[in-house]
Amino acid sequence: MTELLSIEPIRMLVFLVGTILFVALNAAYLTLLERKESSWFQRRLGPTEVGPWGLLQPIADGIKLAGKQVIVPDGVDKILFVLSPIMVSVPVIMNLATIPFSDTLVARNIDLGLLMILSFTSFNVMGIMFGGWASRNKYSVISAARVVAQNVAYEIPMFLIAISLVMVTHTFDLRETVLLQTGGFWNWNLFKLGVSPLMPAACLLFFVCLLAETNRSPFDMMEAESELIAGAITEYSGMGFGLFFISEYANIVVGSCLVTILFLGGWNCPFGLYPGLHWFFVKMYGIIFVVIWIRWSFPRIQFYGLLNLSWKILIPLSLAHLLLTCVMVKIW
């Protein structure tokens, strides 16, 4: 088996299929997790009909979506309309190629892995903007404008925190970053207070930026249901809508992976005993659980409040963190 895998094309094929399966299954079962989790918070049951405990619900939803008629409204910009879901979902799947799930399980370990992920995340914005504009629907245009403003505003603190982390780890390579955090949880970047006393705050900032970049509540301007119906993706039906959905959950997965790798020590065990893939998944799904938890607990922030939070609070804080890290790294 391993000899087969060492043949490069076969290895790539296996990882390609594996990645796409991973994304698809995650997107499908994260919808179920969201529905179940929201029902726990809301004192009700959630999906229970299809399969035991509703486990086959996403399959049923997927079949339904695949069977829907893809309606392309009259007068839309056809190229952009079709390009938009592709542009939103493909870069996210490509991101997963560089994420190290464990010491040996990584599709292609690029030494600029972090940079690649951060730059591909920016594609998300363009895709939604094209979708909103091409839909020829006033609500979609308003929503697309909001999304652009929000995502641009929140990319900046995210990148600043990433830069300050790179200053600590001296590498963009994600696998290296995790390897530097081996040992118990005191080695994790989150707790490396000796390098930067604001590290836990930086993790929180990064997490908030993650919520904003993936358009999750309380930053869900794009899909503010009670105001703009479904926002930029109102006019999409069938598989186009399915692609947007997949990309949203894939974004959440990629973001959680990033937080896990950068701050929580990747696949390392908290007590240094049995590192491996399972720890990575525990941490990643833990963060996803918190992301969903936040969505169902808080109201939505006002649009100008959201922008205020980013430009007036998060950016100065992340700049301060960057400066502090510089100083600490130089002195110690």
**Residue holding tokens 């479904």?**
230
**What is the SS3 assignment for 141?**
helix
Closest CA to 300 of 232, 228, 227, 219: 219
Closest separation in Å from C-beta 91 to other proteins: 28
Return d(Cα 296, Cα 101) in angstroms, integer.
29
Asked if 108 and 98 count as a contact pair (C-beta separation under 8 A), the reply is yes
Span near other proteins by CB under 8 A; candidates 17-25, 105-113, 221-229, 314-322? 221-229
Task: Establish if 217 lies at the interface with other proteins (CB under 8 A).
Answer: yes
Q: Other CB atoms closer than 10 Å to residue 76's CB: what's the count?
A: 18
Return d(Cα 177, Cα 114) in angstroms, integer.
10
Restricted to residues 274-313, the positions that interact with other proteins (CB under 8 A) are 296-305
Alpha carbon dihedral 319, 143, 93, 87, in 10-degree steps, equals -110
Task: Establish if 74 lies at the interface with other proteins (CB under 8 A).
Answer: no
Closest separation in Å from C-beta 42 to other proteins: 4
Asked if 318 and 202 count as a contact pair (C-beta separation under 8 A), the reply is yes
Closest separation in Å from C-beta 226 to other proteins: 4
Span near other proteins by CB under 8 A; candidates 95-103, 167-175, 219-227, 279-287? 219-227
Task: Establish if 71 lies at the interface with other proteins (CB under 8 A).
Answer: no
- Smaller CB separation from other proteins, 22 or 303: 303
In this chain, which of 6, 9, 43, 52 binds other proteins, going by CB under 8 A? 43
Task: Establish if 226 lies at the interface with other proteins (CB under 8 A).
Answer: yes
* Residues forming the site for other proteins (CB under 8 A): 38, 41-44, 137-139, 142, 217-218, 220, 224-227, 229, 296-305
